[in-house]
Amino acid sequence: MTYQFQNPEQAVIFDYLKKAKTIAVVGMSNKEERSSYLIAAGLQKNGYRIVPVNPLLAGQTILGEEVYANIKDIPFHVDIVDIFRRSEFLEEIAQDFVETDADVFWAQLDLQSEAAESVLRQAGRNDIVMNRCIKIEYAYSGLAH
């Protein structure tokens, strides 16, 4: 049987978005046509602070924000870690995530990993969303201006 992650109730997902102020975007591209860039730009326009995370672009600036190599390098609190990396990278990102004080682990549409879920749950980190687009959830949440 294929692994299928169980997301929290819709109201909980909306609550994550309502409470969040800072969103780290793992795998963010500096190419304006890429979905990671477009979604981050949209979230930023709606009042979120975006923190780009991409080791190949570390030290550069995207959307006016410094790019970090790893979520563990971010020197301030992050509410949501939104991931645009292939599913096989999610376990490694989950291992980094548990070493931070970030609140919500969020893997974009079509991304999920049983190993990542296991790492997070074993660390007592249960605020997990996978296989959901943060921009779509935001649009449905009623928070958009």
Between CA 133 and CA 68 the distance in angstroms is: 22
pLDDT digits (tens, 9 = 90+) for 74-108: 999 999 999 999 999 999 999 999 999 999 999 99
Between CA 29 and CA 32 the distance in angstroms is: 8
Please compute the mean of the pLDDT values over residues 45-60 and round it to a whole number: 97
Neighbours of 7 (CB within 10 A): 16
Per-residue confidence band for 4, with pLDDT thresholds at 50, 70 and 90: confident
The stretches of the chain forming alpha helices (DSSP H) are 10-19, 35-45, 90-97, 114-122, 134-141
pTM: 0.96
Q: 59: which DSSP letter?
A: T
